[in-house]
């Protein structure tokens, strides 16, 4: 059985805050009237002080990540959201020695590609809508034209599709099912790796798995596939660039679905959501991640065992900075790669929670009727747009039997926020759809099949022509870019990889190369058909998940007065804090300084709701170090739990 199912038996079961401290901008745990500066009547700021999370695959280890996933998954979701949006401080070890220094080589080997140590939070780029897994920021990277930061609504679905495509390609080529492709298997393969997105859809060609030299050389996959080379036992051969028949006898691979593209042969940036979290933590915030999960590769083939959330990682190409070479007897890394005195800046448990949020991040919506969707889709199909912007995909249900087909992990989310357009109120409304079964007090994920609507990407790289050609800082040219998912595109501005297209029409008219024919069909279309396509894309929307009217209790209606912990919270809406095992109780009506009654959504039971008494979450001195990792649990210390 291949790696993505070895660990499921212990992980299919399916989330932490503190008393007041002097807080950073977005950590505001106090209530109105407390005479504290750390208040937020909206309730949207982070309510708990940071406590380093402890990773555990034991669902009985109270407060560990497996326990949280199994017993309080919405709390885990909120804690992961907080990791994604928290503004880290000096006491957390944010930034390396130099702020806003140039880092990372371009293909020429010496020109720097990016500005590092320039953000205290993921929300510095992924911030529209605020407090959501959004995008919208254009930041300086690769060239003077910049990069458009993508949203990651539906990020778990995108990751699952990428891992699923990898498995489907592997199943076509890896005849002995040992998890890698030998040179003999490559030579027996077809000349194209075909993937069918969903029932009835046209198959997509992900490239040639054969070696270009016959028994030696490289496969010729689509550029979204990144390959590494292995020895006769399937183990990674560091630095190898091809199959040579002596030291390298085959290859393995991943799909790098995060990133616009780095040029031919260089794929994109990150192959998993977990890497998409720890990599920017290091690059943009100088925060080193200690993550044994990423490097948990006992057979050395470059593919890890699954994370607690269930996703394989790819240590052949992606390893975090803090390798845990000096492990404390208490079980955490004492490595300090940037030598700033701050240990365990981002823990394996922090990444578990951040990954959990990204896995379950709500997907975008279509802000129109089904008739409008169908008409717009048909128009796009006539113009050939959907040959690359593939509308829908299927995530297949769990399969652990290779005789029955590819080994699928199933839909690993624990809920889906199904957001649709309400024709009466003319607004989006949601419904929380459980993707779990209750087993007593615990949640067991179903790992079933899911039809992903309105995705609009083939997850491949394409030559986009002269108007999309980029000359990078070092003088290398590139016109090969990943097909972006169009879901949410109506909320995006500007558009295209470099953010240089200021309207959707401009973005379409920049298409060339492999997209030239579709661009020509659009350009020749009637004005009404062009407007239909633009109006259709404009309705592919993001939304503020926390204010979205939504049926969260499953009774089929959106209540006008939704009562949580005895307090009227107003119209029923999606707020994960109200779905905890112990829901957050809001402050409610409050008379402000000028005598006006306002409704405060500040939390009043933070310690109980966020699990401060859970064994692996308890932090008696509130210094961010859980007591079980703190050699001085009653003495506050911000660097290692002892020293300030």
Where does a domain end: 148, 182, 212?
148
Cis peptide before 494 (omega within 30 of 0): yes
**Radius of gyration of the CA atoms of the chain, in A:** 25
Q: What is the per-residue pLDDT for 136? A: 81
* Residue 328 pLDDT grade (very low, low, confident, very high; cuts 50, 70, 90): confident
| Domain residue limits at 108 | 101-148
Q: Which two tokens stand for residue 354?
A: 């951040």
Residue 605 has pLDDT above 60, yes or no: yes
pLDDT of residue 348: 97
Contact between residue 550 and residue 417 where contact means Cβ atoms under 8 Å apart: yes
User: How many domains is the chain built from?
Assistant: 2
pLDDT > 90? residue 43: yes
CA atoms 318, 115, 53, 330: torsion sign: positive
- Is residue 22 over pLDDT 80? no
Structure tokens at 14: 């399916």
**Residue 95, pLDDT above cutoff 90:** yes
3-state secondary structure 232-248: CCCCECCCCCCECCCCC
% of the chain with per-residue pLDDT over 90? 90
pLDDT band per the 50, 70, 90 thresholds, residue 140:
confident
Q: Nearest to residue 348, comparing CAs of 6, 93, 52? A: 52
Q: Which of 566, 577, 590, 570 is nearest to 34 (CA)?
A: 590
Question: For 333-351, how does the pLDDT look when each residue is reduced to its tens digit (9 = 90+)?
Answer: 999 999 999 999 999 999 9
Q: Is residue 145 packed enough to be buried (19+ CB in 10 Å), middle (13-18) or exposed (0-12)?
A: middle
For residue 97, pLDDT beyond 90: no
Asked if the peptide bond before residue 308 counts as cis, ω within 30 degrees of 0, the response is no
**Across 151-169, average pLDDT:** 98
Question: Does the structure show a pLDDT above 90 at 242?
Answer: yes
pLDDT confidence of residue 19 = 34
pLDDT digits (tens, 9 = 90+) for 423-439: 999 999 999 999 999 99
Mean pLDDT, residues 193-200:
98
Residue 199 domain-assigned?
no
In whole angstroms, what is the distance from residue 398 CA to residue 1 CA? 13
Residue 14 clears pLDDT 50, i.e. is over it? no
Average pLDDT, integer, range 90-107: 91
39-61 CB burial, b ≥16 within 10 A, e <16: bbbebbbbbbbbbbbbbbbebeb
> Does residue 138 belong to any structural domain of this protein?
yes
pLDDT tens for 112-129 read: 999 999 999 999 899 899
Alpha carbon distance 288, 98 (integer Å): 15
User: How do residues 542-595 score in pLDDT, each as one tens digit?
Assistant: 999 999 999 999 999 999 999 999 999 999 999 999 999 999 999 999 999 999
Position of tokens 């609009």? 456
- pLDDT average, residue stretch 294-314: 98
Residue 5 has pLDDT above 50, yes or no: no
Is pLDDT above 80 for 9? Answer: no
Percent of the chain having pLDDT more than 70? 96
**Within a domain: residue 404?**
yes
Instruction: Report if residue 489 sits inside a domain.
Output: yes
Check: CB of residue 246 under 8 Å from CB of residue 230.
no
Does 8 score more than 60 pLDDT? no
- Residue 229 to residue 208: CA distance in whole angstroms: 16
Q: What is the CATH number of the domain that holds 405?
A: 1.10.760
Report the C-alpha gap between 574 and 202 in whole angstroms. 36
Distance between CA atoms of residues 564 and 497, nearest Å: 43
Q: Are 428 and 421 in contact (CB under 8 A)?
A: yes
Predicted local distance difference test score (pLDDT) of residue 263: 93
The pLDDT of residue 2: 56
Over the chain, what is the mean pLDDT?
A: 94
Given 479, 508, 541, the domain boundary residue is 541
pLDDT digits (tens, 9 = 90+) for 480-537: 999 999 999 999 888 999 999 999 999 999 999 999 999 999 999 999 999 999 999 9
Torsion sign across C-alpha atoms 482, 486, 491, 493: positive
Can you give the pLDDT at residue 3?
64
pLDDT for residue 332: 87
Asked if 20 and 38 count as a contact pair (C-beta separation under 8 A), the reply is yes
Mean pLDDT (whole number) for 387-392 = 98
Q: Which of 541, 562, 590 is the last residue of a domain?
A: 541
The DSSP secondary structure of 589-643, one letter per residue, reads: EEE-TTS-EEEEEEES-HHHHTTTTSTTT--TT-SSS-GGG-SSTTS--TTTSS-
Residue 308, C-beta contacts closer than 8 angstroms, at least 6 positions apart: 11, 55, 56, 57, 65, 66, 69, 293, 352
User: Which are the contacts of 628, defined by CB distance < 8 A and separation ≥ 6?
Assistant: 54, 330, 615, 616, 618
Beta bridge partners of 182: 250
Q: Would residue 165 count as lying in a domain? A: no
Q: Does the pLDDT at position 6 exceed 60?
A: no
| pLDDT exceeds 90 at position 308 | yes
Q: Is the pLDDT of residue 17 over 80?
A: no
């Amino acid at each position: 059985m291949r790696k993505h199912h070895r660990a499921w038996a212990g992980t299919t079961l399916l989330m932490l805050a503190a008393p007041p401290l002097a807080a950073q901008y977005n950590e505001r745990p106090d209530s109105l009237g407390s005479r504290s500066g750390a208040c937020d009547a909206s309730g949207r700021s982070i309510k708990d002080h940071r406590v380093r999370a402890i990773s555990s695959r034991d669902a009985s280890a109270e407060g560990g990540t497996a326990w949280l996933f199994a017993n309080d998954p919405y709390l885990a979701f909120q804690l992961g959201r907080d990791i994604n949006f928290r503004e880290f401080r000096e006491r957390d070890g944010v930034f390396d020695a130099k702020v806003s220094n140039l880092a990372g080589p371009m293909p020429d080997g010496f020109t720097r590609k990016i500005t590092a140590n320039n953000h205290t939070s993921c929300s510095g780029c992924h911030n529209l809508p605020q407090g959501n897994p959004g995008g919208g920021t254009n930041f300086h990277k690769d060239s003077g034209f910049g990069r458009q930061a993508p949203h990651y609504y539906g990020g778990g679905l995108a990751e699952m599709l990428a891992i699923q495509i990898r498995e489907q390609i592997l199943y076509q080529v890896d005849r002995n099912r040992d998890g890698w492709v030998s040179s003999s298997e490559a030579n027996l393969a077809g000349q194209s790796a075909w993937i069918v997105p969903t029932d009835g859809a046209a198959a997509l060609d992900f490239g040639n798995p054969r070696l270009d030299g016959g028994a030696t050389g490289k496969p010729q996959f689509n550029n979204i596939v990144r390959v590494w080379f292995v020895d006769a036992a399937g183990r990674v051969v560091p630095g190898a660039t091809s199959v040579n028949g002596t030291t390298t006898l085959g290859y393995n691979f991943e799909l790098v679905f995060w990133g616009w593209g780095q040029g031919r042969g260089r794929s994109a940036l990150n192959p998993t959501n977990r890497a998409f979290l720890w990599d920017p933590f290091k690059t943009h915030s100088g925060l080193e991640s200690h993550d044994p999960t990423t490097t948990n590769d006992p057979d050395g083939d470059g593919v890890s065992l699954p994370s607690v959330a269930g996703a394989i990682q790819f240590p052949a190409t992606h390893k975090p900075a803090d390798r845990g070479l000096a492990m404390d007897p208490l079980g955490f890394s004492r490595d300090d790669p940037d030598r700033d005195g701050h240990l365990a800046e981002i823990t394996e448990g922090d990444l578990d929670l951040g990954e959990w949020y990204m896995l379950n991040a709500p997907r975008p919506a279509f802000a129109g009727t089904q008739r409008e969707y169908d008409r717009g889709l048909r128009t796009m199909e006539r113009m050939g747009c959907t040959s690359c912007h593939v509308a829908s995909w299927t995530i297949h249900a769990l399969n652990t039997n290779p005789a029955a087909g590819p080994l699928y992990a199933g839909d690993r989310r624990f809920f889906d926020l199904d957001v649709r357009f309400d024709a009466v109120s003319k607004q989006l409304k949601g419904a929380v759809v459980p993707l779990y079964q209750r087993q007593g007090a615990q949640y067991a994920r179903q790992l079933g099949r899911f039809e992903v609507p309105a995705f609009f990407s083939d997850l491949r790289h394409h030559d986009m022509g002269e108007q999309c050609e980029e000359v990078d800082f070092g003088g290398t040219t590139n016109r090969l870019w990943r097909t972006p998912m169009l879901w949410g595109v109506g909320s995006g501005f500007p558009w295209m990889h470099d953010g240089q297209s200021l309207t959707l029409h401009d973005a379409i008219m920049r298409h060339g190369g492999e997209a030239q024919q579709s661009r020509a069909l659009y350009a020749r279309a009637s004005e009404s058909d062009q407007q239909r396509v633009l109006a259709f894309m404009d309705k592919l929307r993001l939304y503020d998940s926390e204010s979205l009217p939504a049926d969260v209790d499953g009774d089929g209606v959106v209540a006008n007065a939704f009562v949580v912990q005895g307090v009227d919270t107003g119209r029923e809406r999606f707020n994960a804090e109200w779905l905890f095992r112990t829901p957050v109780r809001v402050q409610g009506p409050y008379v402000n300084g000028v005598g006006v009654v306002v409704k405060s959504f500040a939390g009043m039971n933070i310690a109980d709701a966020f699990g401060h008494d859970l064994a692996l979450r308890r932090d008696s001195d509130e210094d961010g170090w859980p007591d079980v990792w703190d050699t001085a649990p009653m003495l506050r210390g911000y660097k290692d739990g002892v020293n300030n």
